[in-house]
Amino acid sequence: MQTERHVRLFKNGRNQAIRIPREYELQGNEAVIRREGDRLIIEAVRRRSLLATLAGWEPLPEEFPDVDEKLIPLDDIEL
């Protein structure tokens, strides 16, 4: 893959835009852009896995009720 390619900037309404060549196409439909000096860095937003999302959650402050306390023990059920 090429490491450099010249492209033209153009106006899209009040925004400046650039067409991203196919060989530089990003995955997904969302990206983050930031400026570092004279450079613009564009990075695809990667979806977090379910495990990563759950790992970031804080525990709930209250206890869950014991929903089994009023049930008949399984050993007492006759089939």
Domains of the chain, by residue range, sit at 1-57
Distance CA 47, CA 28 (A): 9
* Beta-sheet strands, E only, within 6-57: 9-12, 15-18, 31-36, 39-44
pLDDT at 46: 84
Q: In the predicted model, is pLDDT for residue 4 greater than 70?
A: yes
Query: What are the tens digits of pLDDT across the range 9-68?
Result: 999 999 999 999 999 999 888 999 999 999 999 999 888 889 988 998 998 898 888 888
36 phi, psi to nearest 5 deg = -130, 95
Measure the CA–CA gap between 24 and 4, rounded to whole angstroms. 10
Radius of gyration of the chain (CA): 27
pTM over 0.85: no
